[in-house]
Structure 1
Amino acid sequence: MNEGTGGIGRLGAIVGAIAAPTSLVTALLYYFGYYHAYWFFAYFRVNSTLLGFGTADYLMRSLDALWVPMTVTATVGLLAFWGHDLLRHRLTTGVRPPVLRYVIPTVACLGFLLALGGLWSTFTGTFLNRVLALAPLSLSVGVTLLAYALHLRRTVAATTTAVDDHTDSQSNAAEENDDDSTASPDTDSTPNSAAPDTAQHPPATQPEWATLAEWAVVFILVGLGLVWAANDYAASVGVTRAQRFVAGLSDYPSAVLYSERSLSISAPGVRVTPCGDGKAAYGYRYDGLVLILQSGNQYVLLPYRWNRADGVALVIPRNDSVRLEFGPPPSTLRGPAQHLAC
């Protein structure tokens, strides 16, 4: 009964000794945040590695990418733990639900099919790859169901052996009491004569290394599947957030870009105005832009009329030769847009 639990605990202690849990979680959050940022800016054809993101930037973005997966995983895991606890209580009391004779083979077969589909999808394209995160989830869920079916089978076998031993011991005790009551005082008896003819032996258990290896393989496969699924979801969230940003461009504050020299910006909808006949500190003004973000020493701006087909994104170095001025979004302006002077 405690073989699986002991194996998990021992494996957790070994992993904890090798990699600190905080470092492992931070590395995973960094990984998912990186992919969220990569695919968000890739939608605008900007390589996110140019923007100088730090660890804090990626960690903050990872929360957006992992909010739904963590919520769903926690909910499903909680329901699974409650169901397992109820079943474990029934088994420890010696009650074996008849449905187990059908549940264990069904869970094992379903887990095998899902695990096989997930593994097959890692090497070649299948119908599972056409749905977001379905292939990696198939792998993780399939391996989990296989491991749980095996755990249930071992638990049922151990419980049945314990119940049989208890029943046999009670029967032997009753027989010994009957023999003692009918035996004569001078009858010779030896300890060996009171022992039952057929002794029950406890079932053989796996060596510790085999248990550790088994749970290590299970956790590796399940973990890789979950990381794969979260990676796909992070990429999807990044693209979705970019599409929503584009859909709401007209509601974002306008960013007026001033520059000492001409930046030769010719994006659709961007208007350039020379300032001060060459005597102003900033000789050119660019209207029709919106700021996506400022990261490190870079500004990332989009034209209000940006589109996926031929739109361009602007990455402007942040230095003293340029400055930004923010105003109301175009959606709040009444009448046609005016060509503003410096």
Structure 2
Amino acid sequence: MGSGIRPARTARSGRTPRLSTNVARPAQPPRSPTTAAPADTGLSRLSLMIRNFAAPTTLITALLFFFGWSHAYWFFDYFGVNSTTLGLTTQDYLMRSQDSLFIPLAASACLFAVYLFCRRMFREHVLPQIGPENRRRLMIASMVVGFALVAAGLLTIVIATPLRMIVGAPGLCMVGGIALIVSAVRSRRTAQASTESAEVASADVLTAGEWGAVFVLVGVGLFWAVADYSAAVGTGRAIEQVETFSEQPSVSVYSDKSLGLAAPGVVELTCPAPDAAYHFRYDGLKLILQSGNQYLLLPASWNRTHGAAFLLPRSDANRIDFFPPEAIPPAHSCG
């Protein structure tokens, strides 16, 4: 016999009902405004537009194509040949772009890494020790230097300033000037906003339109600098190739008809034999390029004073033989 009181059983299941363990919880305090979602700043809206309208793959391909085109244009321009007549393909331009973009990309990456490091060190160790008056002077100096750099870069468009003698200098001046101006404007607006409220100070100090103008100007400056460098590389590669003509294979052109390749150093041989496959042979040539079913040939003694370039169509009526630089083509032989 038990004297304790047992809980009643339910009529249907015969089981003892469990006591509810739910305890009333206090109401949660409203979320602090500081934990709210970040505001939609002008820079974030501009980044979204760029991602939507300019796919990174398409943009990079366009940049490579442009730089390769500039490289090819100035390379063949040194020989007096218009590159559009050669029928270069997109692959040709993309391959040439590697020659002109390697150093600028490596240098840009290194400079950007140095900029980020210096900026962090300046904000953490130098800026806290500068008083408000010195900060204002520093912002004014940054604005003045920035505008001076931008003006110096733009001035080279209409006046032959010494900056034209330095490859890429005008474009880099524009990029550096814009960076200094933006830094000074952001610092000034942040200082003004911090005196009003912390919420305003945390917002982006540049609008979407201002960020768009900054990106356009910086992009133009970078295009300008790298295109200038690409043109210089193209011309430099042409000069190097002419200087190494003696180390390149020699070319002999065979034809069943006279091609009239008249230039200093080019020798025409005639084969009167009726059973000869080709009746004319031309020695003293160097092959520069084969593209678009045509050959670009230069005399081995070519120079810009009295040099000539030959475009020879690729066909069964012509044949090209190659010889090592020190080899002598067979005499009086037309194949």
Give TM-score scaled by structure 1 length: 0.77
Once the two structures are superposed, residues 211-240 of structure 1 have per-residue CA deviations (whole angstroms, 9 ceiling, x without a partner) of 111111111111101111111111111111
Counterpart of 1:39 in structure 2 is 74
Q: Which has the higher contact order (CA 8 A, sep 6+)?
A: 1
In the TM superposition, residue 275 of structure 1 has moved relative to its aligned partner by 2.7
Matches within 5 A, 1:113-262: 113-155=148-190, 201-202=197-198, 204=200, 211-262=207-258
Q: In 2, Cα distance between the equivalents of 1:151 and 1:8?
A: 13
In the TM superposition, residue 122 of structure 1 has moved relative to its aligned partner by 2.9
Q: Do structure 1's residue 96 and structure 2's residue 92 form an aligned pair?
A: no
Counterpart of 1:194 in structure 2 is none
Q: Which runs of 5+ in 2 are unaligned?
A: 1-37
Q: What letter is aligned with 2:80?
A: R
Relative to structure 1, is the Cα distance of residues 4 and 136 closer, same or farther in structure 2, using a 3 angstrom cutoff?
farther
Q: Which runs of 5+ in 1 are unaligned?
A: 162-199
Determine which structure has more spread, i.e. the larger CA radius of gyration.
2
Relative to structure 1, is the Cα distance of residues 82 and 7 closer, same or farther in structure 2, using a 3 angstrom cutoff?
farther
Relative to structure 1, is the Cα distance of residues 114 and 256 closer, same or farther in structure 2, using a 3 angstrom cutoff?
same
8 A contact 1:4–1:211 mirrored in 2:
no
In the TM superposition, residue 310 of structure 1 has moved relative to its aligned partner by 0.9
8 A contact 1:255–1:326 mirrored in 2:
yes
In the TM superposition, residue 16 of structure 1 has moved relative to its aligned partner by 1.6
Once the two structures are superposed, residues 61-119 of structure 1 have per-residue CA deviations (whole angstroms, 9 ceiling, x without a partner) of 1111122222221111110012223344559xxx7132862543332221111012222
Partner SS state of residue 65, structure 1: helix
Relative to structure 1, is the Cα distance of residues 275 and 8 closer, same or farther in structure 2, using a 3 angstrom cutoff?
farther
Once the two structures are superposed, residues 286-309 of structure 1 have per-residue CA deviations (whole angstroms, 9 ceiling, x without a partner) of 111111111121101111111110
Q: In 2, Cα distance between the equivalents of 1:327 and 1:5?
A: 68
Counterpart of 2:115 in structure 1 is 80
Q: What letter is aligned with 1:117?
A: A
- Provide the aligned C-alpha RMSD in A: 2.8
In the TM superposition, residue 142 of structure 1 has moved relative to its aligned partner by 0.7
Once the two structures are superposed, residues 34-53 of structure 1 have per-residue CA deviations (whole angstroms, 9 ceiling, x without a partner) of 11101110111111101111
Once the two structures are superposed, residues 228-265 of structure 1 have per-residue CA deviations (whole angstroms, 9 ceiling, x without a partner) of 11111111111111111100101101111111211011
Q: In 2, Cα distance between the equivalents of 1:223 and 1:282?
A: 56
Q: Give the number of equivalent residue pairs.
A: 293
Q: In 2, Cα distance between the equivalents of 1:6 and 1:255?
A: 64
* Aligned residue among 49, 55, 80 for 2:90: 55
Q: What letter is aligned with 2:309?
A: A
Q: In 2, Cα distance between the equivalents of 1:278 and 1:103?
A: 87
Stretch deviating more after TM superposition (298-307 or 128-137): 128-137
Counterpart of 1:307 in structure 2 is 303
Counterpart of 1:190 in structure 2 is none
